[in-house]
Amino acid sequence: MDARKDLPVLIAVILLALILAGEFVVFSAGHGDYGSDVVFGEDSISYEIRSNGPHVYDVVVMDGSAGSPTDVSVYYDPSYASNISDVMVAVGGRALDQEYYVQQMGGTLRMRGVDDVSTIDADDMLALMESPGKGHALVCLSGSLPSDVYDGTPDSPVFKWLASGGRLYWAGNAIGAYCSEGETLRDIGSEGTALFLGSDCIEGDSRIAYGECPDGSCSAFSFQNNQIAYSPSIGKLPSDRAHAHFGFSDGERSSISLIQYGEGFVCIIGGDYSNFQRIDLGQVIASGLSPTTVIVDHIHGSVNGRTTGTALAGDHVYISLGGYFPVYGELKEADRCSMTRSSCARASPP
């Protein structure tokens, strides 16, 4: 054995084993190892966090958030055309294609307390949209919707579903610019984007945002994706629609955009496929971010066993453990019937 020749190979094998072990811990650690409780008061909240081992934690208090979705449907149908860009991966790494992205979404969400996650095809999506959308979430990673659901016209079923409270989470290409008629991709253009967002406000150029949104959401939610391709230009969004922007920003676009549509909303995660994008998407869904969300308070600390604390009051609290290497997340929602805060009188966001 030549140590000088074999050492790089040995190091690579060890690193690969550590990476695989890390993924196993992240996706297999049960909520029984971690837990949290929140008591909502008129002017403050009290929290308790439990962790079987040392971890950093974040407590994010919000007002105007959407709450946990009733269920999450992740669209994947290889018999329908997609329109997504190929992405670079490390040598020897697993190709980050749509199938792998979809497979990983279930674990990404369940670790954050969202348990009802399923993969649906084009027929399932049409069935989903034949019922009211309130509380239901749809993740689309294909860059294109089936033509039975969206054909480039305002009478498409997807718009009725959104207006009734549906939540559409979008990653990959410009929203509304394409639809799929089986294996055929139809170019609808910027008129389709305007149907979803109220204006032609998306550019597909690959851009990176190096600044952070001023709301502190990057540190609060440990956001990592700073790509802003396919994100809407904030100044071009219609003023009569609520919209919020989180993560990274270049002053014109942000990595995470949420735009109201009737009683529902559209969420766009910028850029092409990446693991950072997938992790951020899971964090956005699980934390209940919406076009009306305002971050009220953020507490960051560390725990090994049990810790307690207080923060400013809000109607939702998202607690996560692990920071950029998450092992637990859970959203807590105030009981609006028992609270005395004035915010209880507001209508619940979608």
Q: Give the H/E segment covering residue 309.
A: strand 294-312
Q: What is the pLDDT of residues 116-152, one digit of tens each?
A: 999 999 999 999 999 999 999 999 999 999 999 999 9
Tokens of 253: 């676009």
Assign a CATH topology to domain 1-65+293-350.
Immunoglobulin-like (2.60.40)
Give pLDDT, residue 59.
Answer: 98
347 pLDDT above the threshold of 90: no
* DSSP state at residue 177: S
Give pLDDT, residue 350.
Answer: 53
Show Cβ contacts of residue 127 under 8 Å, excluding neighbours closer than 6 positions.
Answer: none
Q: What is the pLDDT of residues 287-325, one digit of tens each?
A: 999 999 999 999 999 999 999 999 999 999 999 999 999
* DSSP state at residue 33: G
Q: Does domain 68-290 have CATH number 3.40.50?
A: yes
Q: In this structure, are residues 44 and 311 in contact, taking their beta carbons and an 8 Å threshold?
A: yes
Give pLDDT, residue 92.
Answer: 46
Give pLDDT, residue 348.
Answer: 41
Equal fold, 1-65+293-350 vs 68-290: no
Give pLDDT, residue 97.
Answer: 85
Give pLDDT, residue 85.
Answer: 73
Kindly provide the b/e burial profile for residues 268-280, where b requires at least 16 CB atoms within 10 angstroms of the residue's own CB: bbbbbbbbbbbbb
Q: How far apart are the C-alpha atoms of 137 and 67, rounded to whole Å?
A: 11
* Helix 275-287 vs helix 98-110: crossing angle, to nearest 10: 40
The count of other CB atoms within 10 Å of the CB of residue 145 is 27
Q: What is the pLDDT of residues 162-192, one digit of tens each?
A: 999 999 999 988 999 999 999 999 999 999 9
Q: What is the pLDDT of residues 74-131, one digit of tens each?
A: 999 999 999 887 655 444 455 578 999 999 999 999 999 999 999 999 999 999 999 9
Q: How far apart are the C-alpha atoms of 33 and 23, rounded to whole Å?
A: 16
Domain boundaries, the chain: 1-65+293-350, 68-290
2: left (phi over 0), alpha (psi -120 to 50) or beta: beta
Q: State pTM to two decimals.
A: 0.86
30 pLDDT above the threshold of 60: no
